[in-house]
Amino acid sequence: MGPLWLANIILLSISVIVFAVLLASYLRSYRNLRSRAFGGIIAFSSTLLAESMVAVVIYYNLSLSFSSGLAALLLLINALSLAGYIFLYRSLDI
């Protein structure tokens, strides 16, 4: 596994942490406010958390078969996605 694949896996692991924090925050707010609106937000966060966890495994398997050229492109996509997720967290922080 090359350094770009490792960077991808680390970035995805950070995404897992961000989604876990998001989910915990929204669950805490749901318990305090009992608003039905949190159902969709919690489902969305749970789905993104699961997607990131699966992506870590898939990227590890991809790293065994593909070159760093693919890893560089995926790293750009993952960096932009993580930035968007952090922005989402900051804008929906309840």
60 contact partners, CB below 8 Å, separation of at least 6: 1, 5, 9
- What domain range is 79 assigned to? 3-92
Q: Are 6 and 68 in contact (CB under 8 A)?
A: no
Distance in angstroms (rounded) separating the CA atoms of residues 13 and 11: 5
pLDDT of residue 9: 94
pLDDT of residue 64: 93
Distance in angstroms (rounded) separating the CA atoms of residues 57 and 54: 5
Distance in angstroms (rounded) separating the CA atoms of residues 94 and 89: 9
Q: Using only C-alpha atoms, what is the Rg of the chain?
A: 15
Q: What is the pLDDT of residues 73-94, one digit of tens each?
A: 999 999 998 888 888 778 866 5
Q: What is the pLDDT of residues 35-78, one digit of tens each?
A: 887 888 888 889 989 999 999 999 999 999 998 899 999 999 99
Tell me how many domains the chain contains: 1
Instruction: Give the predicted TM-score (pTM) of the model.
Output: 0.79
